[in-house]
């Protein structure tokens, strides 16, 4: 069971990786959408004719064909025949028609004409129309749609209303490319697992604090003690980890970096004070150097041996960025992980039952033995 941190992060500075009805929610969701676009969309290539003009000695990829088709239609005073387009683009007649449809329906180009007389841009629109700086292939749209569905499910009402127009646009582009009236979006499934309910108002405030760079004040009830304490923090980033949201922040009362489960935050409010910024390297050293969400600096390495049966899964899993794994001569799999807090590591290793054995350190092995004994006593 992988346990890497930072499944999704958002920050106003470049990342290591709401109901959007009021301006605060709108700004927060817009930041997230821009970050998503920066990750998912390819950079626009050089569209200068000298850089893009190709001979017939190799096939153009679709991006190059669309750019070339755009230039041909934009510069044409008279309709360009399909035969000439085939020759210029080094492609079949069917491909020319597909690219024309994509240019017109997906990129909103002012294409006019027919297969007999040829095609060109509308005379009054030709000078004004340019290809968008960013546009997507169908594969990239699929990836973006899956990302949108993930965000819509993990963010709840905080993000879903801002993402709805994006989803409609993506579905429309996919439908145009596939030549169907509606894209079967229900065939992409994202199934949450053991996600905890959170207060959407608190989530919106926390996200705004991270993105707008403002200090936060809130009540926090830790599950370990079930006691409520007041916290004033400088938010650094929000992290989506195992279907739940966490806030990484500098805790001014405790003078250090802490992670807070957002579902345990109540009465959150923004403060006017500017936050203290913590470098990403320091955050990673304290929060991502060891196994689990509440990690801390590593105290040691845990060595676990998995049966040859379990090895078929474990060998392909990413547990931590610094994990060390190898197959043993008898087919079993040895996995070494840096750890600080043993709770989450023990939970994940014991999940494998008799197919996993903690070898060292001895203190961790004894903890596992004690937990297994307590579990067994429940069945006496």
Is pLDDT at 29 greater than 80 in this prediction?
no
> Cβ atoms within 10 A of the Cβ of 289, count?
18
What would the two tokens of residue 101 be? 């449809």
Q: Rounded to 10 degrees, what is the CA torsion of 52, 56, 58, 60?
A: 50
Is pLDDT at 16 greater than 80 in this prediction?
no
pLDDT of res. 152: 59
Is pLDDT at 44 greater than 70 in this prediction?
no
- The answer to whether the beta carbons of residues 252 and 236 sit under 8 Å apart is no
CATH class of 200-279: mainly beta
Is pLDDT at 96 greater than 60 in this prediction?
yes
Q: Rounded to 10 degrees, what is the CA torsion of 8, 345, 265, 189?
A: 40
Burial of 322 per CB tally in 10 Å (0-12, 13-18, 19+):
middle
What would the two tokens of residue 70 be? 């755009």
Q: How do residues 179-214 score in pLDDT, each as one tens digit?
A: 555 666 666 666 777 888 888 888 889 988 998 899
For residue 265, give Cα distances in angstroms to 74, 116, 174, 206, 243.
Answer: 56, 66, 39, 9, 17
pLDDT band of residue 380 (cuts 50, 70, 90) is confident
49-121 and 200-279: identical CATH topology: no
Is pLDDT at 169 greater than 80 in this prediction?
no
Q: How do residues 313-342 score in pLDDT, each as one tens digit?
A: 999 999 999 999 999 999 999 999 999 999
Q: How do residues 251-264 score in pLDDT, each as one tens digit?
A: 999 999 999 999 99
CATH class of 300-377: alpha beta
**Domain spans, the chain:** 49-121, 200-279, 300-377
What is the third-level CATH fold of 49-121? Answer: Arc Repressor Mutant, subunit A (1.10.10)
More confident of the two residues 166 and 2 = 166
């Amino acid at each position: 069971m992988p346990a890497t941190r930072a499944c999704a992060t958002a920050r106003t500075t470049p990342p290591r990786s709401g109901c959007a009805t009021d301006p605060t929610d709108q700004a927060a969701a817009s930041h997230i959408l821009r970050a998503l676009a920066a990750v998912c969309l390819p950079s626009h290539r050089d569209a200068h004719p000298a850089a893009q003009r190709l001979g017939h000695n190799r096939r153009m990829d679709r991006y190059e064909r669309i750019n070339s088709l755009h230039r041909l239609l934009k510069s044409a005073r008279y309709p360009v025949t399909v035969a000439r387009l085939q020759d210029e683009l080094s492609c079949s007649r069917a491909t020319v028609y597909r690219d024309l449809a994509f240019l017109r329906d997906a990129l909103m180009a002012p294409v006019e004409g027919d297969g007999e007389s040829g095609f060109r841009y509308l005379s009054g629109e030709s000078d004004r129309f340019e290809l968008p700086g960013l546009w997507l292939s169908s594969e990239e749209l699929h990836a973006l749609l899956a990302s949108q569905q993930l965000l819509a499910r993990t963010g709840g009402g905080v993000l879903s209303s801002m993402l709805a127009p994006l989803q409609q646009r993506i579905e429309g582009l996919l439908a145009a490319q596939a030549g169907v009236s509606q894209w079967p979006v229900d065939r992409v499934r994202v199934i949450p697992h053991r996600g905890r309910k959170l207060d959407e108002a608190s989530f919106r405030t926390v996200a705004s604090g991270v993105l707008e760079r403002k200090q936060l004040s809130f009540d926090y009830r830790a599950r370990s003690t079930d006691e409520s304490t007041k916290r004033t923090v400088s938010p650094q980033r929000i992290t989506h980890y195992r279907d739940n949201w966490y806030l990484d922040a500098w805790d001014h009362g405790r003078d250090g970096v802490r992670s807070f489960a957002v579902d345990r935050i109540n009465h959150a409010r923004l403060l006017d004070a500017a936050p203290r910024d913590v470098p990403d390297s320091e955050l990673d050293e304290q929060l991502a150097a060891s196994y689990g969400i509440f990690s801390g600096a590593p105290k040691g390495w845990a060595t676990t041996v998995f049966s040859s049966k379990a090895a078929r899964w474990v060998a392909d899993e990413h547990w931590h960025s610094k994990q060390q794994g190898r197959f043993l001569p008898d087919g079993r799999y040895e996995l070494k992980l840096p750890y600080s807090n043993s709770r989450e590591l023990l939970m994940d290793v014991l999940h494998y039952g008799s197919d996993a054995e903690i070898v060292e350190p001895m203190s961790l092995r004894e903890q596992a033995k004690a937990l297994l004994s307590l579990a067994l006593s429940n069945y006496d």
